[in-house]
Amino acid sequence: MKKILILIATLLLILAGCSTESNQDKAKKESASKTLTVSAAASLTDVTKALEKEFKKKHPNTNIKFNYGGSGSLRKQVEAGADVDVIMSANTTDVDQLQDKNKVSKVYDYAKNKLIIIKYKNSNIKEVRDVSSPNKVAIGEEKSVPAGKYAIEYMKKEDLYEGMTSTFVFAKDVKQVLNYVKKENAEAGFVYETDLYKGKNDKVNNVVKLSDAPIDEPIIYRAGLITNKKASKEWFEFLKTKEAKQIFKEYHFEG
């Protein structure tokens, strides 16, 4: 009888352990399903924080992790299998490439922007062609930063490119371009209109707009849905709401 009781007690402990392990696995899965990883272009650093705050009003238990960088670099990370749920690019090309490779199931154009040329506040240049070596013009890497590609497109259209290549200093994203100019390591740089602002209203210190840098095509920001998690779909659909559109407008993006 004693052996039977011991056997029963052992079985109960094993079952309890399995149940605990099962509950732990369930909790991990639930936690993972409520964690959202969004890879976003560097020019979205400020606005995404405001979007997160609004999103959490209806989804308070979703933990959002943002990964910022040049759109091309973010695309390559997704192609390499990075743990990303939604990509928010500063162009259409990188998301389209992911869709062509079946890495993205849905796309949505959520905002537009403008390319501009900036200089540091006390610079005497009147236009970007006034910059000559050894002084520098900061631009994003053409292959990984859409703003860099747009900048080169603009300079070629204006017959500036060939005469200015010796002035170029390349950056990993627009925030680094902004920093080069802000710290006067470059006399001018190509960024987006929205990069002039810290948050909604405050302007970036020691940086002023030199001129617009219009290109032939509009600069469209496109998002791509990568995973089918509930949280991923909720964020992707949230970008289409009037609340999200209003936040983009407040942060100087165009609809």
- Tell me: is residue 147 an annotated ligand-binding position: yes
- Tell me: is residue 211 an annotated ligand-binding position: no
CB atoms within 10 A of CB 221: 27
- Tell me: is residue 192 an annotated ligand-binding position: yes
Cα–chain center distance at 54: 18
Distance between CA 242 and CA 247 in Å, rounded? 9
For the chain, the first-to-last Cα distance in angstroms comes to 78
- Please check whether residue 91 is in contact with residue 221, taking contact to mean a CB–CB distance below 8 angstroms: yes
Find the DSSP H helices in 56-199: 71-79, 93-100, 146-157, 161-164, 174-182
- Tell me: is residue 105 an annotated ligand-binding position: no
Cα–chain center distance at 202: 21
Among the listed residues 39, 59, 70, 30, the one whose alpha carbon sits nearest the alpha carbon of residue 191: 70
- Tell me: is residue 86 an annotated ligand-binding position: no
Look at the chain and count its residues.
Answer: 255
- Please check whether residue 142 is in contact with residue 116, taking contact to mean a CB–CB distance below 8 angstroms: no
Distance between CA 46 and CA 194 in Å, rounded? 10
The DSSP letter of residue 254 is B
Binding residues for molybdate: 43, 71, 147, 174, 192
Binding residues: 43, 71, 147, 174, 192
